[in-house]
Each structure stands twice: as C-alpha cells, then as structure tokens.
Chains A and B, each alone.
Chain A
Amino acid sequence: MKHFLTRIRAFLVAAKNTVTRCVKTLTKDNVKHFLFGMKMTDGFVYKFVIHALLISLGYIYLYPVFYMVITSFMSMSDLVSANVRWIPSSLNWDNYRLVWEAINYPRALREALMLAFFPALAATVSSALIGYGFAKYRFPFKRTLMVLMILTFIVPPQITMIPTFRMYANYGLLGSVRAFIYPAILGQGFNGAIYILIFYSFFRMIPKSLEESAQLDGASPWQVFTKIAVPLAVPAIIIVFLFSFVWYYNETYVSGIFLGYRVSTEPTGDWLLMTLPLRVEQFFAQYDALFPVGSPARELIQSSRMAGNLLAILPLLVLYFFTQRFFVESIDKTGITGE
C-alpha cells in the first residue's frame, strides 16, 4: 500500500514538473515565435493563411473538374436518380469505353500530340529569337514594329477568318500540319505575339553588363544569345513551350477551319487529321444527330460527354505534372549583384 502511495506521489511530482515546464515555455515570446516564426514567413499564422488561401482558391478550380470526373463515372440510372448527386453508386467505365472506341483514342492521341508538339517547338524557338532581337538591340522603327505586332494580336481571329482562310487556301496549306508549323516558325502562330512579349520581358531582365563582358571576351551576338541569354531564360522557355503546346492542342475554332473540319453529322469513312478535342466534339455532333433534342438518349449522353472531355485534356495534365519540376527554384546563375 505504502509502495503504491509513493508511486502515486512520484507520478504527481512528475506531472507537476511537466506542467510547470510547459507554463514556463508558454511565455509571450514563445507564443509569438510559434505564431509568427523567426521572420514572419515561417510562423503558424502565416502558414495557416497560405494554406487557407490555397485550399479555397484550389477548390474553385477543382470544382468543375470534380464535377466532370464524377459525372463521367455515372451510369444512366445514377444520372436520373435524385438520390445520387456527388458519389456515383458504382465506378462505371462504360462511358470511357464508349468514347475510347468511338474515336480510336490511341491513334487520335498520337496525331493530336504531333499536331501540338511540332508547332509548339517551332513557336518557342522563333519567339525566343524574335523576343531577344526586340529586347536587346536598337534599330530603326522598333517601336512601330512592336505596335504592329500587338495590333495584329488584338484583332479577334473570328473577324479576320474569311480573308485568312482564303489566304491559306492560296498558299495550299490547308488540311495538314504545315498550316500550323509555317506560321509558328515565322512567329505568327496562335498567340504568337504573347510568346514574343514574354521572351521580350525576360531578356530585358538580364543585366546588360553580363552580355557586355561576354562581348569583350570576343563572343559573337549569336554566341551571346545561345550561351548566355538562353540558359538564363529557362523559365520563359518552359512557359512558352507549355502554353503554346496547350494552345495548339486545345484550340478548336481556327484549327478546325485550317484542318478542313466540318461538323459532319454523318460518320464518314475517311480519317481526317484532327486535334483530340475536335474529334471528341465531332463524335458527339454525330451522336446528337442520331437522337433528336429531348429524347432520353440525348440527355443521358451527358456523362459520356464528360468522359470524352476528360480523355481529351488528360495528356495535358500529365505533361504539366512532369514539366512543372523544371521551374527550378531560383536561377541565380547571373553572378552579378547590385544591378
């Protein structure tokens, strides 16, 4: 019994010591340190605010995607049922299978990637060159040329479509990947002006003394460009490549017209070169033509529609997830400070 009491007493003393130690550490400074950290950016409050913002903004972007994913897995009975709103009763892959087989996904994907990759590559290389020229050299009419560039960019493509179409038809570029590659090489691809502007502002951020020192060491302008400017503009290169890739992959209005695509409601036997979103769109246009508006089959295709759209954008998500790591932390390669 006595032995038991000593054990209790020992335990109480230990507890008391722990509490006092805790209270001692709970001084104003320590709380402040916990909340705000050493330099504000590593405290609890700061982290909490950042995560709260990230989560709430992320929710906004994820909501439609969740909606798409969930709808794409719904079977017919789930779509109609009032009980099922968010969680489908079972994972239903039929919607995916339908679209996958209807558009011959592997082949369609291969062509779509080709249609996006080569123009994107051409656009990145050419806009890097052009942006560098605009950023680093003085020549007559530079401002005029830049204004002209922005001017052509602002005009909505829907308005210039008729003359553009006739022009491309005259050049004989319609219906092949050349309709995208040639303008891209010449800096006139989709959104070409914005790529040039991105490179322009990046190259302007490189300190001039760096290039001057290279010039003094006997580097030609071309060597300065390839050996100094390009390695420093890696984030810009990644961004422009990604952006143009996505744009070439995703655009349906202009590319539909250039590739000679018509919303044909009847399945045609021949296989046209087409981007993936266009192919999905065409499949559903044909489907819709089979079933009149208001028929139940028309309403029920909704989930397959979502499955098709998801299949169309999936390659882009994968691509980005693997390329975003190349946004290297900070590129302190300049070695020049105090500018």
Chain B
Amino acid sequence: MKNLLATIGRFYYQTYLPFKDKVIYRLTHNRLLRSTHTDLVIFGKINVAITNRRRESVVGLAFILLWIIGYLVFALYPVFYTLYLSFFNVFLDGRALRLEFVGIGNYQAAFLQDPYFVDVLVNYTLELILNVPVTIVFALIIAMLINQNVRGRGVWRTIFFLPVIISSGPVIAELMNQGATTLPSIANYTFIDMILNNIGTFLSNPLQALFEQILLVLWFAGIQILILLAGLQKIDKSIYEAAQIDGASPWESFWKITLPSIMPLIAVSIIYTVVSMSVFSLNAVVVYIRHTMYGLATSDLTTGYGYSATMAWIYFLVMAIIIGIFIGIISLRGRLKQ
C-alpha cells in the first residue's frame, strides 16, 4: 500500500508539477534533508519536529537574513575594531598601525587627565536633553498642521520638506558660516534675557543655547515631520468621527486617539533626533573627537586615534543611555495607561 502511494506520488511530481515546485520538491526530499508533514529529517537520522513556533522563527530569520549578512560583512568590523583600538595607544608608522596596549588607561585619561572632554560632553548632553523634546513637539505640531485641509497643501508640504534637503547636505554648513540660520531678532528680546538672568547658570546655559539654536533645532526636525505625517495619515478617519459623535473635542481626541496611535513613530523620531544631532559634523563633541583623532599620537594618552576611539565609545554610551531614558519614559507612560 505504502509503495503504491509512493509510486503515485513520484509519477505525479515527475509529470505534472510545474518546474518551480519540482525544484522545491527536490530540495526538501533528498538524503540530507527530508521533510514529512510533521518532521524534518536531517541526514536521515536526526528528527526535528516542525512546530508553529519553529516555522515562525525560520520565516522571520529568512526575512532579516539580508540584514544579518550585511551586519557581518559591513558593520561588525569597523565598530568593534574601534572598541578594540580604544584599549590601545595607536601610532601611525607610515601606512601601518603600531599598537601599544594600555588597558583602561585611555578611559581613565578621558575622565581624569583631559581638561576639556568631560565639560564638552556634559554641556552637549544637557543641550541634547532639552533639544530633543523641543524638536519632537515642533515636528508633531508641523506634521499636524500640514495634515489639515489647508489650501495649497502641496506648497506647504514642500516648504516643510526643505529642512530635510538642506540639513542633510553641505548647504547647512554654508548657511551657518554666513549666519543665515540664526534669527537676528531673538537676541534683541530683553524678556528672554530677564528670564535667563533670574535662573541659575546650570539651567540658563543650556536654555540660552536653546534660544540661540532654535532655528537649528527646527532645521533638524525635517525628517521627523515626515515620519509623523506618514503616521498621522495611517490613522483611520472614522475613529475621529466616532469620537466626535460621542462628544469628544479635538483637544481630547488628540490626547486619546492621535498621540497613542503614533507613539511608536514618536519613539523612532526620538532615536533619529538623538542620532542625527550626535553625528552632525559640526557638533562640539564630534569636532573635539575628530581633532584628537588627527592629532599626532605621542606617548601622551590624550592624543591619537586610540584615545579618540575611547572618547567615541564613551560618547556612544552616553547617547545610548539618553535614548534608553527617552524610550523608557514613553513605554512607561504607555504601560501606566493600561
């Protein structure tokens, strides 16, 4: 009986199956690998039960296979090589690198010997913590504005796409050189000066930086506007209508419908904001690190490529913690709601 079935099966697959299925059949019915309905037999000996869970992970891994290969080929080496170098003092001998192991000496030097690094880092971090919420709020406001039914929407959307184009290229540096990214009038408001003078310097320094750079902050909101706009457009209009019939004001439906549904995209925007600000080539920490990198390595620890790798890793850890805190706040809020 079993033989008969096998004969019929073989006949069917040899004559009737289309070519693609023949290939698949060959791949799954051979000596190395044989799949029955419930099991996968490897080498004709090892039986692996096909569970839903396993099938799901195989399919999922297949989808991200490209990324895994790419990570191994392109991303892994540079990042971890810099981590490796951060424990060394690196000298350039012509084209080759000469390494001298110093253990955690570089890390100690960053915090104890270097007169500028900690200062630059702390200032930048405070500035970042202030800038990120401002950027996100502005981006959300603008995204909601251009999601409205206003006349000439295409023109408005093009205007608010400008920051994406300009801040990603060399044009922003050009404009900053010529002073076109600061509004001259902001410095003239005595009102702002008054506020700044009346709070402690710990708060007022980052605040002042914020006012000076408010335009730059807005310029960095470009892609976030787009991300949030796309999110807003995915929200079903009928939900708003239903809420309105139930007597919700626009204000209420913003907090109860709009915000919760685009929360994941806000998280993405936060990550993007932190990262784009921290890799921006004109930001103080990156400039400082780059200067050290191209400085000649002497026997002193606070120079050279090894030390700049160390600072990069400290910088990176601080950024990671900040992102973690922001994302943590968001998800905590979501969890408390439930």
Q: Give the docked Cα–Cα distance between A255 and B96 (Å).
A: 24
Q: Does A271 contact B (CB under 8 A)?
A: no
A312-B169 CB under 8 A given contacts A150-B323, A205-B261, A327-B230 = yes
Contact (Cβ within 8 A) A154 B316: yes
The smallest C-beta distance from B107 to any residue of chain A, in angstroms, reads: 15
Residues of A that sit less than 8 Å from B by CB = 39-41, 47, 50-51, 53-54, 57-58, 60-65, 67-68, 126, 129-130, 132-134, 136-140, 142, 145, 148-160, 162-164, 167, 182-183, 185-188, 192, 194, 196-198, 200-202, 204-205, 221, 225, 235-236, 238-239, 242-243, 246-247, 249-253, 277, 281, 302, 305, 309, 312-313, 316-317, 320-321, 324-325, 327-332, 334, 337
B252-290 interface bits toward A, Cβ cutoff 8 Å, 1 = contact, 0 = none: 000000000100110110011011001101000010011
Residues in chain A near residue B219, CB distance under 8 A: 61
Contact of A253 among B74, B77, B281 (CB under 8 A): B281
Q: Does B297 contact A (CB under 8 A)?
A: no
Contact (Cβ within 8 A) B290 A155: no
Residues in chain B near residue A238, CB distance under 8 A: 230
Contact (Cβ within 8 A) A154 B170: no
B122-135 interface bits toward A, Cβ cutoff 8 Å, 1 = contact, 0 = none: 00000000000000
Looking at chain B's contact residues, is the secondary structure mostly helix, strand, loop, or mixed? Answer: helix
A185-B66 CB under 8 A given contacts A167-B77, A251-B168 = yes
The smallest C-beta distance from A3 to any residue of chain B, in angstroms, reads: 50
Contact (Cβ within 8 A) A65 B67: no
Q: Give the docked Cα–Cα distance between A166 and B78 (Å).
A: 9
Contact (Cβ within 8 A) A246 B71: no
Contact (Cβ within 8 A) B70 A186: yes
Q: Does B308 contact A (CB under 8 A)?
A: yes
Using a CB-CB cutoff of 8 Å, which residues 77-136 of chain B contact chain A? 77-79, 81-82
Q: Does B208 contact A (CB under 8 A)?
A: no
Q: Give the docked Cα–Cα distance between A249 and B170 (Å).
A: 11
The smallest C-beta distance from B279 to any residue of chain A, in angstroms, reads: 4
Contact (Cβ within 8 A) B142 A57: yes
Looking at chain A's contact residues, is the secondary structure mostly helix, strand, loop, or mixed? Answer: helix
Q: Give the docked Cα–Cα distance between A41 and B254 (Å).
A: 13
Contact of B233 among A129, A164, A320, A328 (CB under 8 A): A328
Q: Does B175 contact A (CB under 8 A)?
A: yes
Q: Give the docked Cα–Cα distance between A332 and B238 (Å).
A: 9
Q: Give the docked Cα–Cα distance between A200 and B267 (Å).
A: 12
Residues in chain B near residue A200, CB distance under 8 A: 268
The smallest C-beta distance from B15 to any residue of chain A, in angstroms, reads: 24
Residue of B nearest to A331 (CB): B234
The smallest C-beta distance from A29 to any residue of chain B, in angstroms, reads: 19
Q: Give the docked Cα–Cα distance between A264 and B317 (Å).
A: 37
